[in-house]
Structure 1
């Protein structure tokens, strides 16, 4: 009985080794058939990882240089080298700096430049709104702050006791706007305290 069990164990062991060798042969055949595709995929993954790493390093370097230029501009707003560096390395931060200095100085030309900028639409809209506030004859309306402009115009009309014209301005404010409730309150109290 021991001999039969030993023979059976040897057969099972040989069967397991055969299956292992068979799997290795199938794997080798698969690799040989698809060697070009496997190597191409590995090369593409390596190139993609390398490109990502290089792009990340370059982005960090650009960020560092633009931050240094911005710090230099905060210390000396007339530093033209830092201004040009900021414009080249980080156009959005450059536009923000121009907007900030234009607000401080009341520079309408710089605000017009920022309002025409395509770098930051929200900032361009804020510049458009600031222009309308600085130049009372102008009526530029931004896309995002149109409700605010209408609210301001309606309030000015209420102060001049032009109730019906103010109601027309308030009616133009979008119903979903958070400013609509303020407009309703102003309309109800007619600007009185």
Structure 2
């Protein structure tokens, strides 16, 4: 029996080796058949990873340069080179800086340019609101703060005892706005304490 078991073990071992060789041959055939696609995929992966790494490094350099320029502007507001660097490297931060300086100086022209800016719609809306606060003739047409403008205008009308006109202003506030309840309270109490 020992001899038959040994022969059986040798047959199984040869069968395993045959399967391994068969798998290697199939793999080699698959690689030869699809070599171009496999190499192209690997090259694309390497190029993609390299491009991503380069883009990441460049964005970090832009961010660092814009932060240095912003710090320079905070220490010396007349630094034209830092202002140009900030404008080129980070337009959103540039717009924010313009808004900040315009508020501090009360500069209506700069606020108007920021309100027309497409860089940051929220900042543009805030600039339009601040512009309407500086210039009584200017109306804020912003999407976000339009309810606040209507509430403020209605309150001013209530202070002037023009209740019907104030109600019309309050009625223009969107029903889903959180300011609607404040408008209802003002309308009910007619601005009186």
Q: Conserved in 1, the CA contact under 8 Å of 2:140 and 2:146?
A: no
SS at match of 2:141: coil
Q: Conserved in 2, the CA contact under 8 Å of 1:132 and 1:141?
A: no
Give the gaps of 5 or more residues in structure 2.
none
Q: Conserved in 2, the CA contact under 8 Å of 1:122 and 1:144?
A: yes
SS at match of 2:85: helix
How many residues matched? 193
SS at match of 1:148: helix
Partner of 2:165: 165
Give the gaps of 5 or more residues in structure 1.
none
SS at match of 1:7: helix
Partner of 1:90: 90
SS at match of 1:143: coil
Matching of residue 21 in structure 1 with residue 21 in structure 2: yes
Deviation at 1:140, TM superposition (A): 3.0
TM-score by length of 1: 0.98
1:47-83 Cα shifts (integer Å, max 9, x gaps):
0000000000000000000000000000111111100
Partner of 1:5: 5
Q: Conserved in 1, the CA contact under 8 Å of 2:157 and 2:165?
A: yes
Partner of 1:190: 190
1:137-191 Cα shifts (integer Å, max 9, x gaps):
2223211111111111111111111111111111111111111111111111111
**RMSD between aligned alpha carbons?**
0.7
- Structure 2 Cα separation of the partners of residues 20 and 184 of structure 1: 82
* Structure 2 counterparts to residues 95-106 of structure 1, below 5 A: 95-106=95-106
Partner of 1:140: 140
TM-score by length of 2: 0.98
- Structure 2 Cα separation of the partners of residues 79 and 189 of structure 1: 52
Q: Conserved in 2, the CA contact under 8 Å of 1:151 and 1:173?
A: yes
